[in-house]
Amino acid sequence: MQPVDFTTLSAVSADLCKRWLPARCEQVYQRDQYTLFIALRTLDSRGWLAVSWHPQAARIHMAEPPPKRPDTFTFSQQLKHQLGGLALTQIKALSPWERVLDLQFAARPHEPALWHLYVEIMGKYSNVILTTADHQIVTAAHQVSEQRSSVRPIQTGKPYVPPPAMHGPLPTLDEAFEDWRDRVALIPGSLKKMLVKAYSGVSSSIAAQLILATNLPTDIATNDLSLADWQSLFRHWCSWLKCLNTETFTPGWLNRAQGGYTVLGIGMVQPAENVQILLDEYYRHQFNQEEFRRLHHRLSQRLKVLLAKLRQKADTFSTRLQQSDQAESYRLKADLLMANLSQWRIGMSQITLQDFESGEPVLLPLNPEKNAVQNAQAWYKQHQKLKRARQAVVPLLAEVNTEISYSEQVEESLLQVSDYQVVADLRSLEETLRELIAQGYLRDTTGYQSGSKSNLKNAAKSGFKSGSKSGAKTPNDPADFRCYTTPQGIDILIGRNNAQNEQLTFKQASDYDLWLHAQEIPGSHVLLRLSAGDVPTDDTLQLAANLAAYYSRARQSDQVPVVYTEPKNVYKPKGALPGMVIYKRERVLWGQPQQAQALIDGLSQTL
């Protein structure tokens, strides 16, 4: 995760001062133990200032509104009490090249500050501290006792002490080229590392961007640079310092897929509207990625354990059914012995009798301590016992097989999305988690079930923005289907999980659509959207079948049987698990998932 360095903080501060000062503090809300939101209103607009002291993602920027959940944090309540209704009048850097901003709050613009909110963006030492006008600490997001730090304790009632001064030289435009080069090249090594070590205030990200701007390899060593390379690098170094002095920044994405941003325009592949939106989207995307990985791992591991137990139970029931298949043989033995009681003799351990139908000799083992009738009765009892076992085991095995099918269906939805790309991926996992909790397969340890609406609303505002043919989705709209458009101009919708599969089949489908699914194989429900009078071409129908095969458990096969029918022929049995349906009047088409894999990138996709 790319940290906020001095350059980025300068860009954010400059933009905030330009567009958001002065502003009235209307509300203070703390979302979690590391993130605070301050509602600001200017004459032209209203927005939320996000302030975070997260160890890996400390930052400050304007952001989307926070989720509407109860705020139970003491720190935010204290800030709300002191800053509510005041005006944010100034945002100043505490000292040159220091990543600390002083947010000053006064009764009215142009009046002396009553409160100072110091935002310290310093990695694992990040903090947010509220002080009075005479710099007495009133509250802090993270208090530091004298036992933990004798250099700079941070406690209520103590005077605020700025962070220790930085050691080492600071970048300056007054430095001559030769002095700069000698300082960077003093110790041979990686150019990127030497730029960071030679000067305070130079982050790894800035060093990499300067090297990129000079068209040099990222891993080049200082000994490998020519004089022309040094001169070109120095020009970009000076351009960077001029951007800081003039506060002219160009925010944009370095690589949207892999993450990474710039405020200097170096290596930019896509511009951002402003630095506030850039940071807001970047960090939401990064946190969504982490949440996705955590949830995906939790669900995958739970399903792996669950399926192992269910399959073991199914094997046990199958074994008992195989044993019950011998029930008839016990009855036949008993009948044969009862029909030949005269041939039995006291103390016999076995007897040979002729089979009723074939006439072949049959050897029957006997208990010599029992007479013939008692041996026959024992076989009759065993026959009845095995019959009762079959009657009990058959529904149990059917129930276990149903659970296995359901679990495999859920597992398949996880396998379809192994990496986070867009917010719909995370929302799909959250829906699956709530479903498993509701079905009793997981315990609700995170509040997803009770706070599902809030979580869904929060997720709807996360991740990168993307176009949608249906327009912007509302927070409570779960229809984040995969959507492809065929060359014929027909949309194909595909469910991401059981909840979306049912939404697709029973709520979105119309009488004119076609419903597709891999035959008797766990997979997604697929809907070919048609209007009245539309007749899909064979190529369009084949493409839909290919996608149904691809988004199924048989995606590695060359050919997969795919059934298709009208949605009115698809039913959900009473009491069935989520996503489990039956259908009739189906037709079968062979889908080719490998062709779908090749075509997916070429189709217009809305996520």
What pLDDT does 455 receive?
A: 42
Q: Who contacts 43 (Cβ-Cβ below 8 Å, separation ≥6)?
A: none
Residues 26, 92 share a domain: yes
Q: Look at residue 601 and tell me whether its pLDDT is greater than 90.
A: no
Domain count, the chain: 3
Residues 117, 13 share a domain: yes
Q: Who contacts 87 (Cβ-Cβ below 8 Å, separation ≥6)?
A: 22, 23, 24, 25, 105, 106, 107, 108, 109
Residues 132, 183 share a domain: no
**Position 524 in a domain:** yes
What pLDDT does 384 receive?
A: 87
Q: Look at residue 249 and tell me whether its pLDDT is greater than 50.
A: yes
Residues 129, 58 share a domain: yes
Using pLDDT thresholds of 50, 70 and 90, give the confidence band for residue 309: very high
Cα angle, residue 326 at apex, residues 325 and 329 outer, rounded to 5°: 130
Rg, Å, the chain Cα set = 35
**Position 135 in a domain:** yes
Domain edge (last residue) among 254, 272, 290: 272
Q: In what order do the strands lie in the sheet with 252-253?
A: 261-262, 252-253, 270-271
What pLDDT does 215 receive?
A: 93
Q: Who contacts 56 (Cβ-Cβ below 8 Å, separation ≥6)?
A: 1, 3, 123
Q: Rounded CA gap, 50 and 285, in Å? A: 15
- Per-residue pLDDT of 375-416, as tens digits, reads 999 988 988 888 888 888 889 999 999 999 999 999 999 998
Residues 108, 186 share a domain: no
The DSSP string of 75-129 is HHHHHHHHHTT-EEEEEEESSTT--EEEEEEESSTTSPPSEEEEEE--GGG-EEE
What pLDDT does 256 receive?
A: 60
End-to-end Cα separation, the chain, in angstroms: 24
Residues 128, 254 share a domain: no
The DSSP string of 122-187 is -GGG-EEEEEETT-BEEEESS-B-TTT-SSS-B-TTSBP-PPPPPPS----TTS-HHHHHHHHTSS
Residues 488, 570 share a domain: yes
Q: Which helix (H) or strand (E) holds 501?
A: helix 498-503
Residue 134's domain spans which residues?
6-140
**Position 312 in a domain:** no
What value does the mean pLDDT of the chain take? Answer: 88
Domain edge (last residue) among 216, 250, 272: 272
**Position 336 in a domain:** no
Mean pLDDT over residues 37-65, rounded? 95
Q: Rounded CA gap, 383 and 331, in Å? A: 6
Q: Look at residue 115 and tell me whether its pLDDT is greater than 60.
A: yes
Residue 121 maps to which CATH number? 2.30.310.10
pTM of the model: 0.79
Residues 216, 100 share a domain: no
Using pLDDT thresholds of 50, 70 and 90, give the confidence band for residue 196: very high
**Position 491 in a domain:** yes
Residues 501, 576 share a domain: yes
Residue 467 falls in which region: left (phi positive, over 0), alpha (psi -120 to 50) or beta: beta
Residues 136, 23 share a domain: yes
Residues 131, 193 share a domain: no
Q: Look at residue 605 and tell me whether its pLDDT is greater than 70.
A: no
**Which pairs with CB-CB distance under 8 Å and at least 24 residues apart come from 320-329?**
320/389, 320/393, 321/390, 321/393, 321/394, 321/397, 323/386, 323/389, 324/386, 324/387, 324/389, 324/390, 324/393, 326/386, 327/382, 327/383, 327/386, 327/387, 327/390, 328/383
- Position with higher pLDDT, 235 vs 457: 235
**Position 301 in a domain:** no
Question: Residues of the chain with pLDDT > 90: what percent?
Answer: 68
Contact indicator for 12, 279 with CB cutoff of 8 Å: yes
**Position 578 in a domain:** yes
Domain edge (last residue) among 140, 169, 204: 140
**Position 244 in a domain:** yes
Residues 132, 11 share a domain: yes
Q: Look at residue 282 and tell me whether its pLDDT is greater than 50.
A: yes
